[in-house]
Amino acid sequence: MAITSATTDRSGGPRLGQKRPLARKAIGRMGPWQLVRVLGEGAMTRVYLARPAEHEDAQPTYAVKSLKREWWSEPAAIAAQRREAWIGGRVSHPNLAPVLASAVTAPPFYLVTPRLGGQTAEAMLGTGVKPALPVALWIARQAAQALEALLTGAGVIHSDVKPGNLMVGPDGHTTLLDLGFCQTAHEARSWVDRPVVGTLRYLAPERVTSATTIDTRSDLYSLGATLYELIAGRPPFAGETPAALIAQHREARPACLHEAVPGTPKRVASLVHRLLAKDPLRRPSAPAEVIDELMRLEIECFGVR
């Protein structure tokens, strides 16, 4: 039924019988944000499509990432949310989603970013669709650019590079997601502290041993595993248990990409396998080095499917 008003005035109020706009349907509110629907969720967080509550007729163009209630009393989960809010507000880069607002001092814990269009690389691969080789290289280069921005802008490594954390827009623009596990090279955070099993498929071997320092080359290993999957359609290792995956990362050699995907240029395969070197010292030393090489390879592979 239409809502009507029986009064009128000269200030622009509704006239007799004029329909007053109805508030657009929402599922709740968090602080000053009106939640429209759930966009997705992970082990610890849930992401909502949202709009400012004071503009209830506006199109929802924001994403509110909230910590699930069952994690409100967990210091590590709260710290991750606070860290993501801090880094997202400090580092500005086209391949990182900016944090526009946050509430991380008391429940409910949440942060706000622009809504990103597209789908994750994981979702894309899940449909059986692989990007063309130049696009795969471009996606990886954009991820490397985000890693470089985190390193130079905040002195942190991402620590969870994987297809599920790469949002690929309809135009191919890629955004690196989930900054909650970022850490400095001096912070030792074991993989067992993470409730994300999928991460193990992209885990650098030094992350499960105390014998080697963890630094930006650990992110580059994960980037190499991600690029391998973008090209081959499957990750370099696929053990059925956490123990099997860890053993493969530490000891096994992945199938040669040049042979696993016929037609893959040797220079592309060489870069991927250098990124996947067991010894961090045998990998590229920094994201900037990988960015330069990927850019050259994109040009060389232009037109390759």
Residues 54 and 195 occupy one common structural domain: no
Provide the residue type at 252 as one letter: A
Q: Last residue of some domain: 114, 148, 176?
A: 114
Catalytic residue among 9, 57, 160, 279: 160
250 and 228 assigned to the same domain? yes
Q: Do the beta carbons of residue 141 and residue 298 sit within 8 Å?
A: yes
Residue range 70-98, pLDDT digits in tens: 999 999 999 999 999 999 999 999 999 99
Which pLDDT tens digit goes with each residue over 101-122? 999 999 999 999 999 999 999 9
Same domain for 224 and 91: no
The whole-number average pLDDT for the span 53-65 is 92
Asked if the model's pLDDT at residue 162 lies above 90, the reply is yes
Q: How far apart are the first and last CA of the chain?
A: 56
pLDDT value at 296 more than 60: yes
Domain CATH code at residue 209? 1.10.510.10
Q: Is 22 among the domain residues? A: no
286 and 138 co-located in one domain: yes
Cα–Cα distance, 182 to 150 (Å, whole number): 9
Work out the pLDDT band at 66, boundaries 50, 70, 90: very high
Q: State how far the Cα of 20 lies from the Cα of 276, in Å rounded to an integer.
A: 61
Domain end marker among 114, 143, 160 = 114
Q: How far is CA 11 from the centre of its chain?
A: 48
Any domain includes 7: no
Q: What percent of the chain has pLDDT over 90?
A: 73
Answer yes or no: do 141 and 42 share one domain: no
Q: Assess contact for 120 and 168: CB atoms under 8 A.
A: yes
Co-location of 175 and 291 in the same domain: yes
The pLDDT, as a whole number, for residue 62 is 96
At 1 the pLDDT is 31
Which residue range is the domain that position 99 belongs to? 28-114
Answer yes or no: do 83 and 149 share one domain: no
Active site residue 57: no
Residue 305, pLDDT score: 66
Residues paired with 223 in a beta bridge? none
Q: Is residue 34 part of a domain?
A: yes
Same-domain pairing of 170 and 250: yes
pLDDT confidence of residue 208: 80
Same domain, 129 and 50: no
Looking at the chain, how many residues does it have?
Answer: 305
Same domain, 61 and 147: no
pLDDT value at residue 4: 30
Boundary residue ending a domain (87, 114, 141): 114
Q: What pLDDT is recorded for position 149?
A: 98
Asked if residue 197 and residue 65 are part of one domain, the reply reads no
Token readout for 107 is 């429940």
- Please enumerate in sequence order all residues whose Cβ is within 8 A of that of 96, keeping only pairs 6 or more positions apart, or say none: 88, 146, 149, 150, 175, 176, 179
The CATH number of the domain where 37 resides is what?
A: 3.30.200.20
Does residue 298 carry a pLDDT above 60? yes
Cα 17 from Cα 15, distance rounded (Å): 6
Instruction: Tell whether 170 is covered by a domain.
Output: yes
pLDDT of residue 117: 92
CA distances from 163 to 38, 56, 108, 172 (A): 21, 34, 28, 14
User: For the chain, what is the mean pLDDT?
Assistant: 87
What total number of domains does the chain contain? 2
Percent of the chain with pLDDT over 70: 86
197 and 67 in a common domain:
no
The pLDDT tens digits of the residues spanning 180-225 come to 989 886 665 544 444 444 588 999 998 887 556 789 999 999 999 9
